[in-house]
């Protein structure tokens, strides 16, 4: 984990990250997805309006139910990880970064991903093998920032083992409340690629700080299936930004903001750049500002298990919902 500050080598690069185009253009790209989701589940409208505000969020946290004690001694993949240590770190900084998948698990997931066709840029029509990324870009005539597996990952037993691990649900329920439930599981590639169109970049939020607003309260576990270094698109999280929010970041229709706006409020020493070996994992409150930096040389293969408190959405913007 590397803190990014104004005196760090990468700081000037972060300051130079631009806003992804004019506000109206970004809204035009996102609005069809948002409207479709709201039409299918009108109960999400209050969340979409109020969950970006601190008063609205605090009001909803009051409804959190008390979690029941877990009964899973010895059954978790993450031996030695104490639930309350994770929960305390999440409450304090929004992030806990000392998880590790067993070698057999991340090796099986990597093997499955290498041998299974993925879908480019969240589009089920853009199917290709991950080792044929360059050829696929030529064939489809557009840059492919990501390769999603959608529900195909449920054919991988190692993915299911992580998805069902009782420690994950136990942490989620003690942090989010007893009503916390699994809402999404996904595995995907991020590929080094050239500059794309504005819609392409909006659908693959690389290189800009943003917060997630898929539920009132959320928790996401991430795992690097393959090693992630500085050129592999490491994840960056702004510590403690989940607990406070500048007014301009509450009264906005977009979740993404340029680095200078975010770090100018929460501090240039607040971000952590998360690199790690294969199997390295971390869990975060995604209401805190974070970003996926763009890979420059090596593709990144990542797994996510997400928990929330509302009925899962079937929208495909974040790669679809894959749950048991």
pLDDT tens string 122-157: 899 999 999 999 999 999 999 999 999 999 999 999
CA–CA distance from 54 to each of 71, 93, 323 (Å)? 34, 16, 30
Element (H, E) at 127: strand 127-128
Query: Of the candidates 50, 40, 86, 66, which has an alpha carbon nearest to the alpha carbon of residue 219?
Result: 86
**pLDDT on residue 252:** 79
**pLDDT on residue 32:** 59
User: What percent of the chain has pLDDT above 90?
Assistant: 56
Q: Tell me the C-alpha distance between 108 and 189, whole Å.
A: 16
Of the candidate ranges 185-199, 264-278, 291-305, the one whose mean pLDDT is the lowest: 185-199
The token duo for 298 is: 């090596």
Give 7-19 pLDDT, tens digit per residue: 333 333 333 333 3
Longest dimension (CA), the chain: 53
Q: Tell me the C-alpha distance between 258 and 274, whole Å.
A: 19
Residue of higher predicted confidence among 181 and 10: 181
**pLDDT on residue 45:** 76
Q: What is the pTM of this model?
A: 0.83
Place of tokens 């083992």: 161
**pLDDT on residue 271:** 95
| DSSP three-state, residue 190 | strand
Q: What is the mean pLDDT of the chain?
A: 83
Q: Tell me the C-alpha distance between 64 and 62, whole Å.
A: 6
CA terminus-to-terminus distance, the chain: 33
Query: Of the candidates 74, 78, 72, which has an alpha carbon nearest to the alpha carbon of residue 281?
Result: 78
Query: Of the candidates 209, 206, 108, 125, which has an alpha carbon nearest to the alpha carbon of residue 160?
Result: 108
Q: Cα angle at 303 between 142 and 134, to 5 degrees?
A: 25
**pLDDT on residue 234:** 96
**Which residues, in sequence order, are CB contacts of 286 under 8 Å at separation 6+?**
211, 212, 214, 218, 219, 220
Q: Which fold has domain 2-65+83-115+145-308?
A: Jelly Rolls (2.60.120)
Mean pLDDT over 220-237 rounds to: 97
Domain range annotation of the chain: 2-65+83-115+145-308
């Amino acid at each position: 984990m590397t803190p990014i500050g104004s005196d760090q080598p990468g700081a000037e690069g972060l300051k130079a990250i631009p806003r992804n185009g004019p506000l109206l253009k970004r809204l035009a790209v996102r609005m069809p997805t948002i409207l479709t989701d709201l039409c299918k589940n009108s109960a999400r409208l209050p969340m979409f309006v109020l969950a970006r505000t601190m008063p609205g969020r605090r009001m909803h946290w009051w409804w959190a139910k008390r979690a029941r004690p877990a009964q899973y001694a010895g059954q978790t993949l993450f031996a030695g990880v104490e639930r309350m240590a994770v929960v305390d770190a999440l409450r304090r900084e929004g992030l806990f970064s000392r998880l590790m998948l067993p070698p057999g698990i991340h090796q099986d997931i990597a093997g499955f991903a290498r041998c299974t066709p993925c879908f480019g840029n969240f589009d089920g029509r853009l199917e290709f093998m991950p080792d044929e990324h360059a050829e696929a870009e030529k064939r489809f005539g557009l840059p492919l920032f990501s390769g999603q597996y959608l529900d195909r990952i449920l054919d991988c037993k190692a993915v299911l083992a992580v998805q069902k691990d009782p420690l994950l649900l136990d942490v989620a329920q003690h942090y989010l409340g007893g009503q916390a439930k699994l809402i999404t599981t996904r595995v995907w590639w991020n590929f080094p690629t050239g500059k794309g169109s504005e819609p392409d970049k909006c659908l693959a939020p690389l290189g800009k700080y943003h917060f997630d607003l898929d539920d009132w309260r959320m928790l996401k576990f991430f795992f690097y299936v393959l090693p992630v270094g500085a050129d592999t698109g490491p994840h960056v999280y702004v510590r403690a930004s989940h607990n406070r929010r500048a007014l301009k970041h509450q009264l906005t229709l977009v979740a993404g903001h340029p680095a200078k706006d975010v770090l100018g409020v929460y501090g240039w020493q607040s971000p952590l750049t998360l690199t790690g070996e294969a199997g390295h994992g971390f869990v975060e409150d995604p209401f805190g500002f974070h970003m996926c930096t763009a890979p420059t040389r090596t593709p990144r293969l990542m797994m996510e298990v997400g928990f929330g408190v509302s009925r899962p959405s079937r929208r495909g913007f974040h790669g679809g919902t894959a749950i048991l």
